[in-house]
Structure 1
Amino acid sequence: MKDLDATTCTELEAAAFRRLLEHLRERTDVQNIDLMNLAGFCRNCLSNWLKDAADAKGVALSKEEIRAYVYGMPYEEWKERYQKEASPSQLKNFEESKPEH
């Protein structure tokens, strides 16, 4: 994308990010621990990265506001509706892959 101007590049990146969020909102069957085990990040990581970016720009957004944006609903509601208890194998994989996160 080296031939694109900065604005177009940012717009394309933003569109891809919005699509990623939409995909994660649709795939409520995919647990955060699965994402962490496979990719080294999850919905909460995305929320934290957005919070860091907002803070760096001086934009006052709370952790709860950002999580609701990422999850498409309040985080506590998402957990209640979709979060499942992690299995022993998921927890083992998470502990083993922690240094990579």
Structure 2
Amino acid sequence: MDDQTRIEIEAAAFRRLQKHLMEDRTDAQNIDMMNLAGFCRNCLARWYQEAANERGIEMSKEEGREAYYGMTMAEWKANYQTDASPEKQAEFEVAFKENVTDKQ
């Protein structure tokens, strides 16, 4: 497989994952994804932003999130985010530290 085809296939897989998380599984909460898998929609948005920045494209954290989510974070939260239990919040603190803070 040539590099261009590989890049196109990887991009298509990313778009499918994005559609799945943004349209098909809005019920899957970010906190649950982070606690289980060590990443969430916000991570994907951050990776998108970082990839843009690495290529000389200025993009803020909020712009990256809006590009990934297709809406502002305020809109996403109002439409889809539910309250997390204290136990989930405690799990999240550990998962975020292990998967984000300690990896930077």
Q: TM-score, normalised by structure 1?
A: 0.86
Number of the residue aligned with 1:30: 28
Gaps of 5+ in 2: 100-104
Among 11, 14, 32, the residue aligned to 2:11: 14
> In angstroms, what is the RMSD of aligned CA positions?
1.5
Aligned equivalents of 2:40, 2:67: Cα separation in 1: 14
Per-residue displacement from partner, 1:53-90 (whole Å, max 9, x unpaired)?
Answer: 11110113333332122112221100111111111221
Moved more, 33-42 or 59-68: 59-68
Number of the residue aligned with 1:70: 68
Gaps of 5+ in 1: none
Identity of aligned residues (%): 56
Aligned equivalents of 1:56, 1:30: Cα separation in 2: 30
Aligned equivalents of 2:21, 2:87: Cα separation in 1: 22
